[in-house]
Amino acid sequence: MNELASARTASSTKERGHTLDRLKEFWRRFRKNKAAVFGLIVLLLLIFASIFADQIADPALITKISMDRKQPPSAAHWFGTDHLGRDLFVRVVHAAPTSLTIGIVVAAFSLLIGGTIGVTCAYYGGIYDEITMRIVDILSAIPGTLLSMVVVSVVGGGMRNLIIAMVIARFRGVVRLARSAAIGVTGREYIEAAKSGGSGEFRTILRHIVPNIMGTLIVSATMSVSSAIISAAALSFLGLGVQPPTPEWGYMLNEARSYMATCPHLMIFPGIALVTTSLSINLVGDGLRDALDPKLKT
C-alpha cells in the first residue's frame, strides 16, 4: 500500500459524519469534470421544461392544425410550423416529457428486474445460475431493437406497450452487469462474516451485496436512460412506438422526412432536441462514473 493510500487511511483520528461527507466528496469530484457539469445543467433545464411544458407552450396548440403550413421559424412560431401547420416549438417541447418518461421508466424497470435476477444468480450460483444465464444468453441472441419490434407488433403500439417491449429487450444486459458486479462482492469476507453472525440469505443480499454494487448499477442505469430515449425515438420513427397525437421526437423526424429538402427545420429542431437530451445524459453518466471510482485520483 503506497503512502498516498495509507495517508488516507491513517487520518482516522478525525471523526467524519456519514453520508454527508461522502456526498460532499462525490460532488467535489463531479464538479471538476466540466463536461459533466455542463451536461447536468442542460439535463436540469430539460427536466424543468418537461415539468412546466404546459406553462412554456400551450398544450392546445399541439394538435392545432392551421393554414400556415411549413413555415420557417418566425416570431409567431419560434421553430416554424410543420406540414399540418402545427407549431413546431410546442410539439418539440411537449415531446420532451414523453421521451424522458420513457427513458427513465425503461431504465428503472430494467434495473429492478435485471438487477434482481443478476444478484440472485451471483449469490446462489449452482443450477439456478446456470439455467438462468443460459436463458439470458439465448434471449441475447436476438437483437434488442428487433425484439422490441416483434413485441410491439404483437401487442400493439402506444407508450405503455413500448415501455414493456423495451424493458424485455434491455433487462438481459442488466442481468449480466448486476451478476458480475455481485460476483465481485459475494466472495468478500464480510459476506461470510454476515453469515457467521446468523444473517439469512435475503438479509445478506439486501444489506450487504446491493449497497456495494449500487455505484456500478446507477452509472449503467443513467447511461441506459439515454440509449432508451434514442431507441424509443427509433421505434417511433418506424411507427412502432408512441402513436399520434402524443408528440415524440422520433415520430416527428419520420414526418419530416418527406420535407427534408424544402423544410429542413422540421428535422433540425426535433433532431437537435434528441441529440442534446441524449448527450447531456451521457455526460452526466460519465461524470458519475469518474466521480464514483475511488481509484481515479484527482
Partner 1 sequence: MSENFIAIKDLYVEYRTDLEVVKAVNGISFTVGKGETLGIVGETGAGKTTTALAILRLLPENTGRVTGGSIELEGRNMMELSPKEIREVRGQKISMIFQDPMTALNPVFTVGEQIGEAILFHHPETPKTEVEARVEEVLNLVGIDPKRKNDYPHQFSGGMKQRVVIAIALACEPDMIIADEPTTALDVTIQAQILAMMKDLRERINTSMIMITHDLGIVAQMCDKVAVMYAGQIIEFGSVEDIFSRERDHHPYTVGLFNSIPNLREKAARLKPIPGLMPDPTNLPAGCKFSPRCPHCMEICRSDDPAAIGEGEHKIKCHLFDGGGISRGE
Partner 2 sequence: MENKNVPLLETRGLTKYFKTSRGMLHAVDQIDLRIEEGKTLGVVGESGCGKSTLGRSILQLIQPTDGEILYRGENVAGCGKRKMRELRKEMQIIFQDPYSSIDPRMTVSDIIAEYMIINKIYKTRREIYQRVNELMDTVGIAQRIANAYPHELDGGRRQRVGIARALSLNPKFIVCDEPVSALDVSIQAQILNLLMDLQDDLGLTYMFVTHNLSVVKHISDDIMVMYLGRCVERASSDELFENPLHPYTKALLSAIPEADLSMRSRKVEIIKGEVSSPINPKPGCRFAARCPHACEACQAPQELKEVSPGHFVACRMI
Residues that bind partner 2 (CB under 8 A): 6, 8-18, 188-190, 192-199, 203, 208, 211-212
Q: Residue 259 burial (CB < 10 Å; 0-12/13-18/19+)?
A: middle
Contact 182, 119 (CB under 8 A): yes
Kindly state the smallest distance separating residue 291's Cβ from partner 1, in Å. Answer: 14
Closest to partner 2 by CB, 14 or 297: 14
Given partner 1, partner 2, none, residue 203, with its beta carbon under 5 to 8 Å by kind, binds: partner 2
Q: d(Cα 131, Cα 273) in Å, to the nearest integer?
A: 43
Positions in 93-112 near partner 1 (CB under 8 A) = none
Provide the 10 A C-beta neighbour count for residue 115.
24
Binding part of the chain for partner 1, among 2-10, 53-61, 89-97, 168-176 by CB under 8 A, reads 2-10
87 phi, psi to nearest 5 deg: -65, 120
Given partner 2, partner 1, none, residue 196, with its beta carbon under 5 to 8 Å by kind, binds: partner 2
Closest to partner 2 by CB, 58 or 201: 201
Give yes or no for residue 189 binding partner 1 (CB under 8 A). Answer: no
The residue with cell 408512441 is 242
Give yes or no for residue 20 binding partner 1 (CB under 8 A). Answer: no
Kindly state the smallest distance separating residue 233's Cβ from partner 1, in Å. Answer: 40
Kindly state the smallest distance separating residue 125's Cβ from partner 1, in Å. Answer: 23
Helix (H) or strand (E) holding 286, with range, is helix 265-292
What DSSP assignment string belongs to 45-110? HHHHHHHTHHHHS-GGGGS---S-TTPPS-SSSTT-B-TTS-BHHHHHHHHHHHHHHHHHHHHHHH
Closest to partner 1 by CB, 7 or 67: 7
C-alpha cell belonging to residue 64: 392545432
Given partner 2, partner 1, none, residue 298, with its beta carbon under 5 to 8 Å by kind, binds: partner 1
143 preceded by cis ω (within 30°)? no
Measuring CA to CA, which residue among 190, 199, 38, 209 is closest to residue 121?
209
- For 159, residues 6+ apart whose C-beta sits below 8 A from its C-beta are 98, 101, 102, 241, 242, 246
Q: What is the DSSP letter of 206?
A: I
Given partner 2, partner 1, none, residue 295, with its beta carbon under 5 to 8 Å by kind, binds: none
Give yes or no for residue 297 binding partner 1 (CB under 8 A). Answer: yes
Give yes or no for residue 7 binding partner 1 (CB under 8 A). Answer: yes
Given partner 1, partner 2, none, residue 245, with its beta carbon under 5 to 8 Å by kind, binds: none
Give yes or no for residue 2 binding partner 1 (CB under 8 A). Answer: yes
Kindly state the smallest distance separating residue 31's Cβ from partner 1, in Å. Answer: 11
Binding residues for partner 1, rule: CB under 8 A, are: 1-4, 6-7, 10-11, 297-298
